[in-house]
Structure 1
Amino acid sequence: MLDKYTYLDNASITRLDEKVLEEMKKYFFDDYAIPTSESGYSMGIESREALDNSRDIIAKALGASKEELIFTSGNTESSNMALKGTLMAWVQRKKRGKKIETNIEEPIKNHIIISKIEDFSVLNTAKSLEKQGFQVKYLDVDADGLVDLEDLKNSITTETSLVSIQHANQEIGTIQDIEAIGNICKEKNVLFHIDATHSFTRIPLDVEKIPVDLISISAHTLHGPAGIGGLYIRKGTPILKWMDGGFQEFNRRGGTENIPGAVGFAKAVQLITENENNRLLKMRDHLIDRILNEIPKTILNGHRKKRSPQNVNITFEFVEGESITLHLDMRGFAVSTGSACFSRSLDPSHVILGIGGDPERAHGSIRLTLGRFNTMEEIDAVADALVTVVENLRKISPLGMKK
């Protein structure tokens, strides 16, 4: 076992902060009861207060009220609920035969729009909806991963019920202009959902300023606990109850509340600071500059400036990302790749393909994502390792020999 191991895959999951764990402990061992009303027993009241306080902290970080946030098990559940819940609400309304004020039957709202580079929580939810008979428009993106606003505007029809575009991409870090997208959706009278798993608390997001109806968030990318997330639902947004059972989460999601998780999520949100985000941004830019300047035949994937502060995604020509990942692991660095073995799929990264890359470019890419516990010394160390590893692999690469 290596004496030192540097973790640079923080977009997948982050190390739990000790301060978060300390905040959570009480609700595992002391106030572990399920939340009760004010007329219940004291331990249950303590749990209720902890849940309400946590909800308030997280909602305020979005500029929302606590009544507009429900807790979920994470981003995947949140995005499933956002897409399926809103569409099912329309189906239920349609079955009841409701009509608009002019007494003209409403158009069939069976159409949604997403980008081709969404995370699987949205992408595969959309594919599932297609199998159920809904129509899905997959928007192209440019070479940087940005949605074309005119294309979006022209894709919205009278049948469109919802647009779902992520805030920051999970692989290449590109930040979308969600304010402009939100204004288009508002003008066209369609719902707007964003996946903010890789941007919440890292990039400013205020629902009082941005016309967004639904936001998926998660604690596992913020040095909080895994298995807890949230869905912001703007007041008045039609959405069907997601999980049947009890009357928890304002009767929108049944199931016993995860009090330690909610408390940990709130504490994780409180610990994020502007100084930390600026430090991540400086390390990100330093790593990008070193790689591009010191290793020839490299491509930065994603927008150079409109990019989440923790994301670096590079394609190294003539070598496999899988090989780079394994060699870095032997040297004590954890990174991820779009290569088939590591993505658990036979397909290359749909994100790299979506920005115009070919399978070779996708398989030659690695993603390094930074977190609170990384240092500039570690950034220089992984850059040094990459220079050596890529040079050595290219010497024996049949891909390089053919060029």
Structure 2
Amino acid sequence: MARQGVIKSNLTNDIAYKSFMPSFLPLEEGIKFDEKLIQSLVNARTEIAKLEVLTSRIPNVNLFIAMYVRKEALLSSQIEGTQTTLEDILDPMVLENTNSDVKEVISYIQACEYGVKRLNELPLCNRLIKEVHMELMKNSRGQERNPGEFRHSQNWIGSLGSTLNTAKYIPPNPSDMTLAMGNLENYIHEESGIDVLIRVALIHYQFETIHPFLDGNGRVGRLLIILMLMDCRILTQPVLYISYFLKKNRTEYYDRMMEVREKGKYEQWIHFFLEAVYESAKDAIDTIDKLDCLHKKIELQIQSMGRLSKNALEVFKYLETNPIIEIQKTSKALGLTYNTVSNIVNEFCRLGILNKVRNISRNRIFIFDEYVTILKKDTEKIV
């Protein structure tokens, strides 16, 4: 058998097709470590350790997590072709004016939050993966394609309009898929001397190769990365997301996985994955530092607001999880009068903290520009 797996023949005559069955994990031959791969692992491990220390020390880490999950949801969905912006997701009227692309991102946010919470009650397993998929597919395109269930029919990967005969890649047939997901679940749970990051790289590749759902495999596969890191106690908070790197290197991302399927080049894939972890951890550290500095700067500005300062701090806290606001909704959320919030918003505008976006009757929309600018990095629409 080839290192990467085997091509299987299915059915006969006019409906015959071939599918790929990946080798089970752990690999019989193991991973071949050279100096380059070892250095990549050291770099990724070092940066993750720095991130873990940083998130354990800053007082407002939960605010960062809430916003970073939204950014990750947007980027992961953009990899699949979703066309929306961070401003769309943060729009205070999003639930009233949502479209199908925005719904997909919101569903991803809910799936991520669900998965992280569920890890407190259930180990990472096929049951949890199915539950996360169920959450992901709620109220989004593909919700009719068996959410929360492994597929019972053949799927394939290819350009729009492709068939089993023209597809770029055909995952395991339903019977082989069931066996492969059983093996993957066992591998997730078994003790191993291999570093966790290497294991996560292999698990992500294996999941994407098995493609157990009819839709949403890419997004679930990227969610598995953070869930695995938390399940293995490498991270205590969901603060590492690699979709920003994968979006920038989308072609190489897919090509590296195909190189494993076709030629068994696991080491090249692992090196790419470790680079993604390293760059993503650096990005998270940089973002946390910038948001923390911004937080401290604005707290000092608020102290100069006299009698408004107490309520202004409450509005500011709200801004850090809702950086685009509408006065009426903000006043209801905080239990403050419309006039109080309006006065604070006007003062924030004077200080340059907020800027007006549009003015439609009383529905005035304001944006926390500096905050959104920091988070917007790498979230531009894919052309």
Fold in common (TM above 0.5): no
TM-score using structure 2 length: 0.28
Whose strand fraction is larger, Structure 1's or Structure 2's? 1
TM-score using structure 1 length: 0.27
Whose helix fraction is larger, Structure 1's or Structure 2's? 2
